[in-house]
Amino acid sequence: MAKLKSTFVCNDCGSEHSRWQGQCNACKEWNTITEMRLETKSDTSANVRSERFSGYAGASDSSLQTLDQISLTELPRIPSGYAELDRVLGGGIVPGSAILIGGSPGAGKSTLLLQVMCNLAATMSTLYVTGEESLQQVAMRANRLGLPTDKLKMLSETSVEKICEIANKERPKIMVIDSIQVVHVGDIQSAPGSVSQVRESAAFLTRFAKQVGVAIFLVGHVTKDGALAGPKVLEHCIDCSIMLDGSTDSRFRTMRSHKNRFGAVNELGVFAMTGKGLKEVKNPSAIFLSRDDEESPGSVVLVLWEGTRPLLVEIQALVDYSQMPNPRRIAVGLEQNRMAILLAVLHRHGGIQMSDQDVFANVVGGVKITETAADLALLIAMMSSFKNRALPHNLVVFGEVGLAGEIRPVPSGQERLNEAAKHGFTRAIVPMANVPKNPPPGMEVIGVKKLTQAIEALF
């Protein structure tokens, strides 16, 4: 007779508790702790969970070694066939790695992975495991996209033990699990998608990837807030976490790495959704700079630094008289609290008061800006709309604005200017410390130390 045990798990963070309580001690959320019944099965089931699959002696090697005894030979990366995906991954797919790809429904996660796997199947052994769709549905999508379907091996299964058993026999180089929320481990008695099932399934698959040397893509769902569904430990146990973002009214999709043990984080890749699937965008700056020929107030071009490359985007601002006692401050693609701070700096050190104005800011193309290099560009865009004076099309701006009104330097200033010069920009307003000794040919670089200097140079 199997013994029944129970534990209390938080549905938000995945932390376990010995008894039920109203508030989780780890994440401080209320009414998120539920009882999970665990069944301790026979030794044969336990042996399935702890099976050591034969493979390369990587992370599974338990022998003691000193650092100088460990081989530093880097594992060769596998090109995915898409340069934007390889950029986000840090140069390609690392054998034995577990990669989590999340995104909202309809973003194109399954479509992109199906394209990658069909192309890689021509040169290596691959396995696509689907738990949400039937094999016929996946085949219909592959035929609609015009993908080669004669080499890719398909499997419809939700049991993690069976998936790993079949994969251990087939020995694929790359495997896709679509999705981590529908697979389950046999000796966990909670439903698929629960905190304990997601945690144990991800740990089992990650351990299998390290022992056998197969690269595993895990498709993850998101919550209504846009965060990855499941416990936070899911992001800790995998090697790379990628989010594929894109609104339903835009055909462009942005892929960003939030965690990467084999490359830079916050690397950005851009794709376009077409009738034949996702197509990579070779020059993202060009699509974000589709501006009108006529100059309009409140628009300025900013040079961002995304991962390892510069990116040109357009920032738009609209400042209008408010009919409300509390003027609105709305920012799309920018941090709203940051915009409120910059308005206070503009009033204190620039002498411009917008307390009776509604201020709206937007980043064209759906790009989300997190770095402070956008401070100066946002202030100049708001000033342009407030004074109803258009800025020249050949102007680019970047720089961080401090609370004392100083313009602080940003990293990779020379590379930002070179990228702007390649797109035909001939004038730049940058922090004084970012002014290069040898500016790009044909570009006038104006260095400023204070916010008032930037305002005087333009207005």
**DSSP per residue, 137-166:** HHHHHHHHHT---SS-EEEE--BHHHHHHH
Q: What is the pLDDT of residue 31?
A: 81
Q: How far is CA 392 from the centre of its chain?
A: 33
Q: Which residues pair with 245 in a beta bridge?
A: 254
| Residue closest to 271 by CA, chosen among 92, 94, 98, 116 | 116
Determine the Cα angle at 322 with ends 316 and 326, to 5°: 105
Judged on CB neighbours under 10 Å (0-12, 13-18, 19+), 382 is buried
Beta strands 427-431; 395-397: pairing state = parallel
For 43, other C-beta atoms within 10 Å of its C-beta total 6
Q: Which residues pair with 188 in a beta bridge?
A: 38
Beta strands 277-280; 299-306: pairing state = unpaired
Encoding tokens for residue 285?
């700056």
Q: What is the pLDDT of residue 52?
A: 52
Q: What is the pLDDT of residue 63?
A: 74
Encoding tokens for residue 51?
């099976």
Residue 201 φ/ψ, nearest 5 degrees: -65, -45
- Residue 27 CB partners (closer than 8 Å, separation 6+): 10, 12, 13, 15
Asked whether 48 and 234 are in contact (CB, 8 A), the reply is no
Q: Which structural domains are found in the chain, ordered by start?
A: 3-44 (no CATH), 77-282 (3.40.50.300), 287-458 (3.30.230.10)
Cα(114)–Cα(223) distance, rounded to whole angstroms? 23
Judged on CB neighbours under 10 Å (0-12, 13-18, 19+), 436 is middle
Encoding tokens for residue 162?
């069976």
- What parts of the chain have a pLDDT lower than 50? 1-2, 40-50, 55-60
Q: What is the pLDDT of residue 291?
A: 67
Cα(318)–Cα(385) distance, rounded to whole angstroms? 6
Q: What is the CA radius of gyration of the chain?
A: 26
User: Given phi > 0 = left and psi -120 to 50 = alpha, else beta, which region is 246?
Assistant: left
Cα(405)–Cα(402) distance, rounded to whole angstroms? 5
For 437, other C-beta atoms within 10 Å of its C-beta total 5
Q: What is the pLDDT of residue 104?
A: 87
Encoding tokens for residue 446?
């104006």
Asked whether 170 and 153 are in contact (CB, 8 A), the reply is yes
Could you give the 3-state DSSP secondary structure of residue 445? strand
Could you give the 3-state DSSP secondary structure of residue 229? coil
Q: How far is CA 275 from the centre of its chain?
A: 24
Q: Is the dihedral of CA 104, 108, 111, 113 positive or negative?
A: negative
